[in-house]
Amino acid sequence: MPAIRHILVVNGHKVHRPVFVLGAPHSGADLIARALKRSGGFHLTIGRSNVLRVIYAFARRPSIHRGHGDAAARVLRDAFAEAWQISPHACIGCAPQCRAASGVNGVGPCVDTRDTSRYGDASPDLLYCAQVLVDAFPDAQLVQVVRDGRDVVAEMLADEFALAWFRPGFSNLDIEFPNSFFGIDTEAERLGWGDMSLAGKCALRWRGAVRLAARLRKDLSQDQLTTLRYEDVVRHPRQAAVAVSEFIGAPTSAILLHAAHPANAGTWRRRLTAGQASDVEMVAGEELRRIGYG
């Protein structure tokens, strides 16, 4: 059955081909988000609280939208309809990373409704409800970013927010299994979760995200999904901007892509201990090699 098309009007504009930027934690989705946010005609949001509530509800409990696709899509669509409103006070509640990405220091909105023709979002962990996104916006365009899982683990180990999900009481493995959010696919992984190191748990989250990304590539057309490699973005920012521009059919600024230094790739060699690197290899070594990180 073909997807039902819903017309969403925001700020007097019909929302068409919204762009969503996806990736595992610390995979570099923020680079693409900043480039799009400062590209003319785009209103891209990052981490709006009402959107995050819906994202984490669906990401951590996929069973609540399984069999209720239309209702889940409507909830997500309504969340973005609110998040994309542009008014003198709408951006006061924006997340710090959203305002920082826009480069706006004042209290007003970061875009002008007269100049806005496209919408998008790059909130953390958006990847985990990608299917609901496609149900909500059948013409959505998804830009996903993959990165060496060892560098991702090194970044996650230094991120208190990322590690907070591993605290007792936050995991929901007893009621959600398999669990893509935590990367748990087998009963053995679920039983061993409690004794696993933080590096191993981070590697599982990366591996789960990469597997989700692979399923998206299989299910969606090249017109709807494109994949960038973080290492290519930081080494060749201009080419990356051209690739995104051609995919979404709109100019994308390359200036912000120069913010990340190529030396950021491969820092796991000095940031991970031998034990941590071994844990990552044990959990995600096969996946690393499958996508070209030997």
What is the rounded average pLDDT of the residues 210-232? Answer: 95
CATH 3.40.50.300, domain 7-147+221-260, yes or no: yes
Using the predicted structure, report yes or no on whether residue 2 has a pLDDT greater than 60: no
Domain boundaries, the chain: 7-147+221-260, 150-220+263-294
**Closest alpha carbon to 5 in 119, 137, 99, 129:** 137
| 252 vs 102: CA distance, rounded Å | 14
pLDDT of 42-97, one tens digit each? Answer: 889 999 999 999 999 999 988 887 767 789 999 999 999 999 988 777 666 677 77
Mean pLDDT of 111-131: 87
- Name the strand (E) or helix (H) holding 246: helix 237-248
For all residues of the chain together, what is the average pLDDT?
89
Contact indicator for 130, 212 with CB cutoff of 8 Å: yes
**What does the block give as tokens for 290?**
């499958």
Locate all alpha helices (DSSP H) within 39-186, ordered by sequence: 49-60, 69-83, 96-102, 130-136, 149-157, 160-164
Counting residues of the chain whose pLDDT is more than 90, the rounded percentage is: 69
Q: What is the pLDDT of residues 230-271, one digit of tens each?
A: 999 999 999 999 999 999 998 888 887 877 677 788 999 999
Spatial separation of the C-alpha atoms in residues 172 and 175, rounded to whole Å: 6
Q: Report angle CA 115, 255, 90 to the nearest 5 degrees.
A: 40
39-43, 90-94, 147-151, 216-220: which range is least confident on average? 90-94
Which H or E run includes 216? helix 198-219
Give me the pLDDT at residue 230, please: 95
Buried b (16+ CB within 10 A) or exposed e, 28-67: bbbbbbbbbbbbeebbbbbbbeebbebbbbbbbebeebee
| 3 neighbors 138 (Cβ within 8 angstroms) | yes
